Every structure is written in C-alpha cells, then in structure tokens.
Amino acid sequence: MTPVPDLLTHVLAGYTLATALRVRFDWLSPAYVTVCMAGALLPDTAKLYLVVPDAAVATLLGVPFSWHVLHTLGGVVVGVSVGGVLARRADRLRVVGLLSLGAVSHLAADGLLLTGSGHSQPMLWPLVRVGLPTPGLYLSTEPTPLVVTGVAAVAVSLFVRRVRPS
C-alpha cells in the first residue's frame, strides 16, 4: 500500500515545480499548478490493484493483466494522453506538458528509492525492461523526503508571491 508520506511528497514536488515555473510563464495559473500535481499522482494509479486485483481484471478481459504498467513510462504516456484528450482543445498542449512534468518528477523520485536489489522497478518500460541501478537515498515510508519537499514548496511559494504578486 502506498504510504501517505509518499503520495504527499509527490504532490508537493509537482506543486513546487509548477509554482517555480509561474515566474517564467504568465499563463501558469493555480489551476494549471493543480494539473501538474495531478500528473505527479498518475504513476500511482497503479495502486488500483488494491481495489481491483490484477487477477480479477485478467479474468474479466480474458488476457493477462497488471496494473503495474501504469507505474512505468509507457503507462504515464497513456495517462497523459487521456488527460490531453479530456482537456479543452485550447488547453491541450499545456495540460499534456504539465501532466508530463508531474509524472516524470514522480518516476524520477521513485528512481532514487532504497531497494533490496539496488535496482528500481522497470519504470522506463517499454524502452528498458529492467530496473536501473538506484542510489538508494531513502525509503518511501521515511518522512525526510516529505519534509524536504514541504520546505521547498513553502520556500518556492513565498518566493513566487514576492516576485510575482497576484
């Protein structure tokens, strides 16, 4: 099960990145920041297996199935594409870009996790079918990444409000 610190860390990372970009891009409103935060959660839609097991979906579809593919580059491309299709035509490019930024930040953060094997999950599938070596900086259950992203989110938010008052 995904620990709350892990989910909140990913959301805060997306918030921090998108808020920092508000200095450069005038169109990047708080609503677009939220899109980036949603993108940071896209890979964890793989946790749907907790509600609907892989085997149940495989039985229903009659083909092998795994939710884990959603926690890969290929799954992110599909999720971002769905988000782009659902967005208004005028916002489509921005939505796709911000969803992608959030999702890639999620995969990058997960690539730094401490694992027993020393390798990450195969998050770059379908380009790479094995997990890449990870520096093993932290566990997803540790509060340190949450504290770091929380402090960064507050600092960036205060900086952007000072540089670009509403």
Alpha helices, DSSP H, located in the chain: 4-21, 30-41, 54-61, 73-86, 92-110, 144-163
Whole-prediction pTM: 0.92
Question: Does 144 have pLDDT greater than 60?
Answer: yes
pLDDT in tens, 78-104: 999 999 999 999 999 999 999 999 999
Question: Does 2 have pLDDT greater than 70?
Answer: no
Q: Which of 25, 26, 23, 66 is nearest to 47 (CA)?
A: 66
Read off the tokens for 6: 């892990």
CA 46 centroid distance within chain: 11
Distance CA 155, CA 24 (A): 17
pLDDT in tens, 4-45: 779 999 999 999 999 999 999 999 999 999 999 999 999 999
